Chain A
Amino acid sequence: MAHFGSVMLIKKPEDIKSGEITPQKLYVTRRNFLRGAALLATTAATGFLYRQVNAPPQPRVEGAKLADVVKPDAAQAAGSGYVVNEKLTPFENITGYNNFYEFTTYKSEVASAAAGFVTRPWTVAVEGLANRPKVFDLDDLLKLAPLEERVYRMRCVEGWSMVIPWVGFPLHKLLDAVEPNSAARFVQFETLYDPKRMPGQNTGVLDWPYVEGLRLDEAMHPLTILASGLYGEKLPPQNGAPLRLVVPWKYGFKGIKSIVKIRLVRDQPATTWSAAGPSEYGFYSNVNPNVDHPRWSQADETRIGEYRKRPTLLFNGYAEQVGHLYAGMDLRANF
């Protein structure tokens, strides 16, 4: 066409062939595509970051079943507090939500941090004011008495609780074996100290090793047990393998884990948490809804698996069995 140039300049919109618009359309499509991709990529990156920083806890694997666990019969259990008639906390919650600062202070990460913790060989030294002190090999110690199932409430000082079917035997059976002498008035317990196996001990979060204590009559009470299992299985590392203390009427931290030493002593022993916060954690640490923690209320608790709070019971519901141990004592002063 000869007059090509001038025609182009005065061309009206309706003269534009549809084919000539396509590049514009393509441009918009490409831009939208890039935008979508950018949005998706950043969203995925943010999601990934969130998962890295704040991953929800993972369920864990089954452990080895324990043989010959005696279930207390109804008649024997009545009034003893051996079996609480409440819904059991699911296995994965008991084994996936732990306070065990020797591994990590993140409750949902204790299980993975403690996985592979070697508990054989293991010895427990029972010493101090006793006629027959002895260093027990763990497997011998576990043969001192038949393993029983005890279904106890567990109330953490932080305000949550569980119902746990422990497997173990009363502590007094072990103490009877070493024959405490008449000067013994308290029992002190000690956790393994081995920063290589317990990485949390490389931090200054608490003074290591973890130590706990009971009055001798508390230690001799039939509700006080040494546990080596739960849900009929070998105790998982995150719950205090291979041997831990369970004192159901006291806050959970009294239940010292991975015990290597038990010492009978004359004077009230130091305990880790009351050393860390003398005004917040006492020696007794009996569950008591009427005595608040200085920073939070102890009047109620979150039962793991429930959304609504439930009232906390005096001595965690074991007042009938253990109340007499504290007759005439000021529980506010002896918190």
Chain B
Amino acid sequence: MKDIKFYKVVVFVNSLVPLALAAWDWSQGKLGANPVEFLTRTTGMLTLVFLFISLAVTPLRRLTSVQWLIQFRRMLGLYAFFYGFLHLLTYVWFDRSFNLKSAVSDIYARPFIAVGMLSFFLLVPLAITSTKGWIKRLGGKRWARLHKLAYVAAVGGVVHFWMLVKSDTRLPLRFAFVLAVLLGSRVFIKQMKQKTPPRTLVPRPGGGVKP
């Protein structure tokens, strides 16, 4: 039973669970000694996690031939954007007290902020053009090329994480490893495809794929 509509509800609700739990912990004063740091770290990690899951959709679909996985990609990508926005918000709110001028000067002073900021802003055009209308307007191929930026944003996000740790790089290293696997699978799939007759998959406005 391929009940896509219901599965979408499941993915949507599950993606909100971390936010709901973090908000609950916050309301209970249970985010520990440094709630701001906890929220910043949590939203940052969630951004990377959702970015990675959305980037895993295509390789998974190619490897397993379960085509309908593509139906969830837009939602997962938008969740990455959403958590990225919350991450930026915690920074602008608590670290900069909504002083945008100081946030801008901070970009110059702290390279890891610049990298993180850039990665987030790369996601903005992707979020905007995630609609059916924009896929139609841009045409499938151009749209797909534009959305390769998600990989750039992911690399930027991991570099941003790496740059801010003091000496223990093990966690960013793990994220980098997963990203390398995701990128590697792309290359692998591309090479497999060159051996078999060409078959380009272009996203349809409906969210499905047109072989």
Which residues of A come within 8 Å of B, CB atoms? 35, 38-39, 42-43, 46-47, 50-51, 54, 56-57, 89, 92-93, 96-97, 101, 105, 107-108, 158, 160, 203, 205-206, 276-277, 292, 295-297, 302, 304-305, 307-309
What does DSSP make chain A's interface, helix, strand, loop or mixed? loop
Q: Which residues from chain B sit less than 8 Å from chain A, CB to CB? A: 6, 9-10, 13-14, 17-18, 21, 25, 30-38, 42, 45, 94-95, 97, 106, 109-112, 163-164, 166-168, 170
* Smallest CB separation, B27 vs chain A (Å): 12
Selected A-B contacts with CB under 8 Å, 13 pairs: A92-B33, A97-B33, A107-B34, A158-B166, A203-B170, A205-B170, A292-B109, A295-B163, A302-B34, A302-B37, A304-B34, A305-B33, A309-B95
Q: Is the CB of B33 within 8 A of A54?
A: no
Chain A residues contacting B164 (CB-CB under 8 Å) are: 295
The answer to whether B34 and A297 touch across the interface, beta carbons within 8 angstroms, is no
5 nearest A-B pairs in the assembled complex, by CB-CB distance? A97-B33, A93-B33, A57-B32, A105-B168, A46-B17
Task: Kindly list chain B residues whose C-beta atoms are within 8 Å of the C-beta of A302.
Answer: 34, 36-37, 94
Contact A43 B14 (CB under 8 A): yes
- What chain A residues lie within 8 Å of B33 (beta carbons)? 57, 89, 92-93, 96-97, 107-108, 304-305
Question: What is the distance, in angstroms, from B45's C-beta to the closest C-beta of chain A?
Answer: 7
User: A109 to B17, alpha carbons, bound, how many Å?
Assistant: 23
Residues of A within 8 A of B112 (CB): 295
Q: Which of B10, B31, B32, B97 contacts A39 (CB 8 A)?
A: B10
Residues of A within 8 A of B10 (CB): 38-39, 42
Which residues of chain A are near B109, meaning CB under 8 Å? 292, 297
B91 to chain A, nearest CB (A): 12
Interface residues of chain B: helix, strand, loop or mixed (majority): helix
Instruction: For the complex formed, measure the closest distance between the CB of A105 and the CB atoms of chain B, giving whole angstroms.
Output: 4
In the docked arrangement, what's the CA distance between A160 and B170, Å?
Answer: 23
Contact A54 B32 (CB under 8 A): no
* Assembled-state Cα–Cα distance A57/B38 (Å): 10
A-B pairs with beta carbons under 8 A, tally: 83
- A104 to chain B: closest residue by CB: B168
Chain B residues within 8 Å of A107, by CB: 33-34
B97 to chain A, nearest CB (A): 6
Q: Are A46 and B97 in contact, with the CB atoms below 8 A?
A: no
Closest-CB distance, A130 to chain B (whole angstroms): 33
Q: Bound complex: CA of A302 vs CA of B95, how far in Å? A: 9
Partner of B110 from A50, A206, A296 at Cβ < 8 Å: A296
Task: Give the chain A neighbours of B25 by CB distance below 8 A.
Answer: 56
Interface pair B34/A160, CB less than 8 Å apart: yes
Give the residues in chain A near B38, CB-CB below 8 Å.
56
Contact A101 B21 (CB under 8 A): no
> Looking at the complex, which one of A35, A56, A277 makes contact with B32 (CB distance below 8 Å)?
A56
Please indicate the chain A residues that have their CB under 8 angstroms from the CB of B35 in the complex.
307
Most buried by A among B33, B36, B95, B170: B33
- List chain B residues, Cβ under 8 A from A108: 32-33
Name the B residues within 8 Å of A43 (CB-CB): 13-14, 17
Q: How many Å lie between the Cα of A35 and that of B14 in the bound state?
A: 14
Looking at the assembled complex, report how far the CB atom of A92 sits from the nearest CB atom of chain B, in whole angstroms.
8
Q: Which of A42, A46, A89, A205 is close to B18, meaning CB atoms less than 8 Å apart?
A: A46
Q: Is the CB of A307 within 8 A of B21?
A: no
Which one of B21, B45, B170 has the greatest number of beta carbons of chain A within 10 Å?
B21
Cβ of A97: which chain B residues have Cβ within 8 Å of it? Answer: 32-34
CB distance from B41 to the nearest CB of A (A): 8
Given A56-B30, A205-B168, A39 contacting B9 (CB threshold 8 A): yes
- Cross-chain contact A307 with B42 (CB below 8 angstroms): no
CA distance A205 to B112 in the complex (A): 21
Beyond known contacts A108-B32, A295-B163: 14 more, CB 8 A cutoff: A39-B10, A54-B42, A56-B30, A56-B38, A57-B33, A93-B32, A93-B33, A158-B166, A160-B37, A295-B110, A295-B112, A302-B37, A307-B94, A309-B94
Decide if A51 touches B13 in the complex (CB within 8 Å).
no
Q: Do A101 and B168 have beta carbons less than 8 Å apart?
A: yes
B45 to chain A: closest residue by CB: A54
CA of A93 to CA of B87, assembled, Å? 24
Determine how close the nearest CB of chain B comes to the CB of A164; give it in whole angstroms. Answer: 12
By beta carbon, the residue of chain A nearest B1 is A31
Chain A residue contacts of B34, Cβ below 8 A: 97, 107, 160, 302, 304
> Is B37 in contact with A47, judged by CB distance below 8 angstroms?
no
Do A205 and B32 have beta carbons less than 8 Å apart?
no
Residues on the B chain within 8 Å of A50, using CB: 17-18, 21
Report the Cα distance A101→B170, complex, angstroms.
13
**A94 → chain B closest CB, angstroms:** 8
